Amino acid sequence: MLRTWKARRAFDRALETERSGRFAEARDVFLAVAADLPGTQRAMAYARAGTCSTWLGEFAAARKQFQAARDADPDTADHWLNYANACHRLGDGIGADEAYVEALKRAPDRPDILYYQSVYYADKLTRGGLEGARRAFRKLAEALEEPGGTARMAALGFPWELPLAFIRNLALEKELVDDGLAALSEFVERPSANDATSWVKPAVLNHRGLLLANAGRYDEAARDYEASLAIRPADHVTYNVGMVEMRRHRWDEARKALSEYSRRKPTSPVTTFGLALLAETKGDAKEAARLYPVFLDRQSKNPASPVDLMTLDVPRSWITRARGFLEALKRPSEGGYFEVPPE
């Protein structure tokens, strides 16, 4: 009994250690105390260890720890989901497939499980992945509209717009834009049963606008952004308006939208990147050269979160682009040379 009590105290301290980002230290404690905890708590200790190992990039170790959690508490869907995701990261398709099915047996129609299963399916069958993510978001919306649904879905710790972003990005990557538009349009047209899903239509309009903009259909994208803002004003949509106006070479409108975003988020790296890209696109190399280093410094010191970036028209290679532009300025133009001052 005393050993169990001490193990629980150590587990609680390890949680704080994990929250502070000291993942290796926390993982070692979780593993050390697991044997002295009863079944469900033992499983949780192994699961927390697996999460720490994942953050550390030790994916093989994480799979073993998630497997231990699953074996200690096989009735809990979360442990099967964690194990499935670990198998997927390691390229173990058979293990991932079976574990996603087992997770859904224990929690049928749970949106986060359906989403991660769709990501796995997309590796083999793109349209299967699109349909899976579509189903995951459909089930999320239905669950939110149930009594107590908002709290239950929030407890999953699952970003609600993630299936929308996945549909958008997969459709672009695999050049299935019309399929992606069809999947997203379902939720633009879906009526909300109550306030719990009133955010869905403006959010989906933004994601559909992002898909259209990155497919070169700028006028349609602008209409979707305007419709989204008419329902629910949002800073990230204002930024996206600026980006699509930039693509249309409507410089004044682009600067107006990006400046509005800048006033709301003056220290965000996103703000500086957008204005730097506008300067570069217009051909103002001097202004771009001034702004890109500010962007790189801000992103280094206070990186934009993946959840925030998910709704913004920001390229994945934005850091590489900024560095590439600055490097290009250092190189001589064709036929030119650098004058080296005397020492």
pLDDT at 342: 43
Distance CA 206, CA 273 (A): 20
Query: What is the per-residue burial (b if ≥16 Cβ within 10 Å, else e) of 234-264?
Result: bbbbbbbbbbbbbbeebeebbbebbbebbee
Write down the residue that tokens 């260890």 correspond to: 49
The DSSP-derived string for 177-218 is HHHHHHHHHHHHSPPPSSGGGTTHHHHHHHHHHHHHHHTT-H
Quick one: which of 46, 49, 86 has its CA closest to 68? 46
Residue carrying structure tokens 């005393």? 2
**DSSP-derived secondary structure for 323-334:** HHHHHHHHSPPT
pLDDT of residue 272: 95
Distance CA 273, CA 190 (A): 35
pLDDT number for residue 45 = 96
The ranges of the chain with pLDDT < 70 are 1-2, 332-343
- Closest to 197 measured CA to CA, from 249, 269, 142: 142
Give the residue among 56, 59, 4, 69 at the shortest CA–CA distance from 27: 56
Residue 96: which of 108, 75, 106, 81 has the closest Cα? 81
The C-alpha atoms of residue 29 and residue 13 are separated, in whole angstroms, by 9
Give the chain's length.
343
Q: Is 102 helix (H, G, I), strand (E, B) or coil?
A: helix
Q: What is the pLDDT of residues 181-236, one digit of tens each?
A: 999 999 999 999 999 999 999 999 999 999 999 999 999 999 999 999 999 999 99
